[in-house]
Amino acid sequence: MLNEAQEQVFESIASDLIQQGYSIQHSALPLSLCSGLLYRISSMNEQDFHRAGTGRQQDHQLNTFVRRDRIHWLSSENTYEQAWLDYAGELQRYLNRRLFLGLFSYECHFAQYRPGDFYKKHMDAFQGQANRILTTVLYLNPDWETQHKGELVIYDPQQQEQELLRVMPRFGTLVTFLSEEFPHEVLPAERERYSIAGWFRLNSSNSLQPDPPA
């Protein structure tokens, strides 16, 4: 059962997606949840992360020209990670009821950007070629100031060289957008930068291969 504050955030996300295809919610999550996630990622060891690549499964490859972040996929084995997965599950159910999106599953990872790391302009999904429908990014960076840089840049879907907006990666900010619509990039930052990137997906299982992959 959603509390009033959570339902207001979810309704704002749904309304924004209808009107413009993206949503920026500041202080979106309960402070205790954000604080727990920050504690989790900041206390992890170097070996808990691995260099991020591009593509999925057999198409996956490392490319430090495109991206230089390090990632850790979330699972139910950790209490803090499970808390975020539960929150995402509530959002999934709300958006399915409200927008009839047919979201089937959610996958996400911590992203650690060291000073100077970046992720160049890219799409999270391509029309007709993937089943990622909705992208989420939650930022976990307290006391983030403009001079620290590291913004998320979202580009216009029609004129893809034109910036639509920039989002500062401040603590508790939740970004949601249609995965097939918006090119975006992560600019280099002056300090370490933490986030959780996630994707709601459709079910493309068939008789030969389950989805999500086992």
Q: Give pLDDT tens digits for 152-207.
A: 999 999 999 999 999 999 999 999 999 999 999 999 999 999 999 999 999 865 44
Structure confidence at residue 207 (pLDDT): 40
Helices 4-20 and 79-99: crossing angle, nearest 10°? Answer: 60
Say if residues 184 and 29 touch (Cβ distance below 8 Å).
no
pLDDT above 70: residue 58: no
More confident site: 12 or 128: 12
Domains of the chain: 4-44+64-201 (2.60.120.620)
The verdict on pTM exceeding 0.85 is yes
pLDDT above 50: residue 209: no
Say if residues 17 and 37 touch (Cβ distance below 8 Å).
no
Structure confidence at residue 131 (pLDDT): 82
DSSP code of residue 148: G
Q: What is the average pLDDT score of the chain?
A: 90
pLDDT above 60: residue 118: yes
Q: Give pLDDT tens digits for 87-108.
A: 999 999 999 999 999 999 999 9
